[in-house]
């Protein structure tokens, strides 16, 4: 890998979604968005629902929605282990609105703290998807 690139890998439970050298990647960390450039200090972070932006040639080349996960950064590599991931352009607004409605119903119907927490997480993911869905 050239010294002016960072090797970026995005992995979901289903597959390796992306693996390539990029100029920079911006990740939605739990404590706020953070950018990763070559020779970045080592970091491990949780990832909140949001959009990963991949930069090549000085501009955003890809936008990928992630539902959460973990990021590991080394001076040469950035790996994101995502719970769920999809290109922003593939977010189906109508389907996501239905998921949000169903999740809100699940929150209201929850019989235990665990069920409520699971449903609230689904609400947060659906709301984040809708925020980034392209019309």
pTM, entire model: 0.87
Residue 134: per-residue pLDDT: 63
Helix (H), strand (E) at residue 56: strand 50-56
DSSP H stretches of helix in the chain:
93-109, 113-132
95: CB partners within 8 A, 6+ apart: none
Per residue of the chain (135 residues), give pLDDT as tens.
Answer: 557 899 999 999 888 999 999 999 999 999 999 999 999 999 999 999 999 999 999 899 999 999 999 999 999 999 999 999 999 999 999 999 999 999 999 999 989 999 999 999 999 999 999 988 864
């Amino acid at each position: 890998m050239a010294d002016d690139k960072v090797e970026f890998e995005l992995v979901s439970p289903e597959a390796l979604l992306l693996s390539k050298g990029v100029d920079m990647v911006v990740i939605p960390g739990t404590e706020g968005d953070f950018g990763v450039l070559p020779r970045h200090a080592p970091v491990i972070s949780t990832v909140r629902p949001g959009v990963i932006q991949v930069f090549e040639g000085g501009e955003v080349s890809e936008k990928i929605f992630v539902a959460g996960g973990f990021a590991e950064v080394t001076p040469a590599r950035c790996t994101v282990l995502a719970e769920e991931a999809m290109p922003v352009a593939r977010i189906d607004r109508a389907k996501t609105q239905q998921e949000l409605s169903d999740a809100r119903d699940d929150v209201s119907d929850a019989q235990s703290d665990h069920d409520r927490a699971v449903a609230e997480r689904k609400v947060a993911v659906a709301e984040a998807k809708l925020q980034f869905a392209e019309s």
